[in-house]
Structure 1
Amino acid sequence: MSEGRTVPSWRLGEHVSATYAATDECRDLLTGFVRTGVRPGQRVVVFLDADDTDLARQLVAAAPDAAAGQLLVLLYGSGFTASGDGRVQQMLDGLTTVRDEAFADGFQTVFVAGKMTWTLRAGFAAADLVAYESAVNAFFGDVRIGGLCLYDRRRFDKATIGAVAAAHAGPLLRFTVGGWGAHLRLSGELDASNTGALPSILGMVTEADSTVLLDASDLLFLDAAAAHAIVGFAASRPNRHTVVRCTRGVRQALDLVGADEVPTLVLRDRVGGT
């Protein structure tokens, strides 16, 4: 990234995608991510391609004050691997291990970044990437974790980049899972840039054998596709209620796509007003 370019800010609870078309641009994006991550004393883990040894050294040098074990830079084939028919699940399991080890080591929060060219070496097809990016939304539903996936526009075609970008919720949309029964909270905006991530997010509570509370009180906007996805989610659970707490504007969008035709979908005003 050349001098004068703005490096985005990174936050916990986000699953963000970004693209680059130059080596220095990639380096600066990752450097900004690493520096942001180590400042509050959280663990930062970066997944790189096998030939990124120089970049690995640059990232370590960018965080000279990192404590021992705080910054982990892993190269494909030596620090981590994923191959064969189960490569998507292998990587998801690997992320779970990274998270659990960080918490076991006393870190309360974790930043995870990936320079996604490693997936080409691992044999990921476009469908594998979309499956991975959709499934990993569950991992980033934990507000103690923040994530960044970097895609090289010289190596991935526009269709693939568009598909994987849509599978990322952040930075416009944030979500958390927890609370009583199955409680999913959405905040921010749902539009064409991230609606593709919504099915995988809703999928985290699809199998709940209880009422699902979808707290959209802080959802500022959703488009028709997102509204259809929420109504369709409720319709797919005919024996369990889905309660959506939302603003008047979100309620109107849901009503326009048939919310009143789903008996198990209950719309409630947001706490503190409509």
Structure 2
Amino acid sequence: MPARDTGSDHLIPVQHLRPGDHAFVGYGDDEVRWEVVAAFVRLGLARGEKVLVLPCPEVPGDEVLARIDFPSRSTVSARERGQLVVSSMREVISPDTEFTAARQMARLREETDRATDEGYVGLRAFIDMGWVAALGADVEVMMRRETSAHALFAGRPYTEICAYDRRRFDRSVVTGMERAHPRTLLERLGSLRTARDPDGALCFIGEADVANQDAFTRSLKIALAHTAPARRLTVDLTRLHFLSVGCAVGLLTLAHQAVGHDLVEVRCDHGQRRMLRRLGGGTVPLLVLTEVVRPW
């Protein structure tokens, strides 16, 4: 029987965001920051959501639009029909001139309701926190908003990314905000990270593609060595946005060679399980494929 996702994942790729998610992303490079923005915008448009982008106030509007559109002008029609809106925090809280959490959250609730009334499945917002300095807002007030905004998300079709430039904020603020958000995003598209789940499972996050195949295989070999005394390894693939055939074959090969183990369990989504079985996963004696059903 398929296992059900508990929704406890903290670090995820941007492609795994779903309605109700409140996510943190940090950046320290002016080029890198646009990767998550562009992916977030395009995914929202494809899913029939309304998309609100509040970029860093210091970035010229023409550059924002060029970055979102790169490498084509595919978002022009979305802007023309009002599905994609590039705005600012100053406009969000207007006619107020001083930021208050209550005003901001009230407006975002209104915008979410307006989006669904207009026929969209929900609203997603990308908010670059550069607005804090631009409006002369108190950082402590901003932090309290970030940690008490649950009503914006619970049971509502609203998704938000808060982007923090590590060069603008004290390290303690960035660290605190990363911990406070229910979700943290990989900063770069195409990257691969590993983590240990509370139950000891080796979790892969991001892209297990050709560029990351060596790192993927190395992490599996290390995990097999560490779990030899327990004779059991659990691998979680469900936070991968992409799993290449090469990485999948490498996983099956190592599982087949894990003679010192009694069990290698692989938690995977439906597509990953189908790929692994087609590649011969059903013939590996120690391997158990556990399909995880996500709630979207």
TM range (shorter): 0.5 to 0.7
> How far is the alpha carbon of 1:79 from its aligned partner?
6.0
**Equivalent residue in structure 1 for 2:51, among 44, 62, 69:** 44
Unaligned runs of 5+ residues in structure 2 are 1-11, 186-196, 199-296
**Equivalent residue in structure 2 for 1:66, among 78, 98, 123:** 78
Contact 1:114 1:148 in 2 (8 A): yes
Aligned to 2:62: 54
Change (3 A) 1:80 1:49: farther
1:163 aligns with 2:176: yes
Change (3 A) 1:44 1:157: same
What is the identity, as a one-letter code, of the residue corresponding to 1:13?
A: G
**Equivalent residue in structure 2 for 1:114, among 127, 147, 153:** 127
1:74-223 matches, cutoff 5 A? 74-78=87-91, 81=94, 83-84=97-98, 87-171=100-184
1:8 aligns with 2:20: no
> How far is the alpha carbon of 1:102 from its aligned partner?
0.7
Change (3 A) 1:141 1:151: same
Taking structure 2 as the reference length, the TM-score comes to: 0.51
For the residue of structure 1 that corresponds to 2:169, the secondary structure is coil
Contact 1:15 1:148 in 2 (8 A): yes
The CA distance in 1 between the partners of 2:147 and 2:63, in whole Å, is 27
The CA distance in 2 between the partners of 1:40 and 1:129, in whole Å, is 30
The CA distance in 2 between the partners of 1:62 and 1:131, in whole Å, is 37
Q: Mean Cα displacement is larger for which, 31-40 or 132-141?
A: 132-141
The CA distance in 1 between the partners of 2:56 and 2:92, in whole Å, is 10
> How far is the alpha carbon of 1:151 from its aligned partner?
0.4
- Runs (4 or more) in structure 1 with deviation over 4 Å come to 78-82
What is the identity, as a one-letter code, of the residue corresponding to 2:120?
A: F
1:17 aligns with 2:30: no
The CA distance in 1 between the partners of 2:13 and 2:62, in whole Å, is 21
The CA distance in 2 between the partners of 1:139 and 1:46, in whole Å, is 17
What is the identity, as a one-letter code, of the residue corresponding to 1:56?
A: V
Taking structure 1 as the reference length, the TM-score comes to: 0.55
The CA distance in 2 between the partners of 1:150 and 1:103, in whole Å, is 25
What is the identity, as a one-letter code, of the residue corresponding to 2:62?
A: D
The CA distance in 2 between the partners of 1:126 and 1:78, in whole Å, is 19
For the residue of structure 2 that corresponds to 1:147, the secondary structure is strand
CA deviations over 1:172-228 (Å, ceiling 9, x no partner): 9xxxxxxxxxxxxxxx98xxxxxxxxxxxxxxxxxxxxxxxxxxxxxxxxxxxxxxx
Contact 2:105 2:149 in 1 (8 A): yes
Unaligned runs of 5+ residues in structure 1 are 1-5, 173-187, 190-274
Counting matched residue pairs gives 168
Contact 2:127 2:162 in 1 (8 A): yes
> How far is the alpha carbon of 1:120 from its aligned partner?
1.5
What is the identity, as a one-letter code, of the residue corresponding to 2:47?
A: P
CA deviations over 1:216-265 (Å, ceiling 9, x no partner): xxxxxxxxxxxxxxxxxxxxxxxxxxxxxxxxxxxxxxxxxxxxxxxxxx
Aligned to 2:41: 34
* Greater helix fraction, Structure 1 or Structure 2: 2
The CA distance in 2 between the partners of 1:165 and 1:62, in whole Å, is 32
- The two structures, once aligned, show a CA RMSD in angstroms of 2.7
What is the identity, as a one-letter code, of the residue corresponding to 2:78?
A: A
> How far is the alpha carbon of 1:136 from its aligned partner?
1.9
1:248-263 matches, cutoff 5 A? none
For the residue of structure 2 that corresponds to 1:24, the secondary structure is coil
> How far is the alpha carbon of 1:8 from its aligned partner?
3.1
